[in-house]
Amino acid sequence: MAEGDKTKSCLKEDDEMVDIMYSGKTLWNKILRLDEECTKKLSFCAMLDSSFGRLRPFMKLLEISCHGIPWYLCTIAGLMMAYRPENIEVLMNLLIGLFLDITVVGLTKVIVRRARPAHNQMDMFATISVDNYSFPSGHASRAAMLLLFFVKKVFSPGSMWCYLMWVWSVSVSVSRVILGRHHILDVVAGFLIGICQYYVLLQFWLPASLCISILEPYLGHFHL
């Protein structure tokens, strides 16, 4: 093959590669635009004067119910009051799961840096700098992780508490869009991340004996 033909062939391959990359970028941009448009239509409670703005206080209660701070405080308080090894085991692993969740979500938010929906009101409860970013939804990831944790490790299978946990978890996740806090893809991704986090937690589950040995130096000082 002549040198000129080789050069033309290489240029043609480069052009094809650029076209493929551009097409992929264009498709992703279209998906994001569709996500933003659908999110805007579903944000019924984004503002008080929205179509269902009167439900905004209830949505904010759901928001607080899945916030990290209450869950951390309640879990730590439970550990300080727990005496039975099986309770210490569950609470210790729950605390690890909560730490895993905030780490994974926080790092992902910093890497992706997707802005929150334009119609979001920045009146969220106890936020930090990474909460300015939208992807993924930390509430959805936490709700999914807690759902599996309690259904599989705490509540009896098929009990009323399992069904209530499902209702709560799904309600929290859906409310993130309705309240205008997140895009739909943020919530879907967050929920899937939460499911993955639970199964990762299972792989590193600490038995009761190890939990007690870890906490023993502290329980004598702080146990209620």
Under DSSP, the state recorded for 121 is: -
**Residue 139 annotated among the catalytic residues of the structure:** yes
- In the set 67, 119, 182, 183, the catalytic residue is 182
Backbone angles phi, psi at 88, to 5 degrees: -65, -40
Is 119 a catalytic site residue?
Answer: no
Give the Å distances, CA to CA, from 153 to 12, 63, 89, 99.
58, 24, 10, 18
**Both tokens assigned to 110:** 């910093």
Choose the catalytic residue: 139, 183, 221, 223: 139
Number of residues assigned to the chain: 224
Is residue 59 classed exposed, middle or buried when 0-12, 13-18 and 19+ CB atoms within 10 A define those classes? buried
DSSP H helices in 43-81: 56-65, 68-81
AA identity, residue 45: C
Active site residues: 139, 182
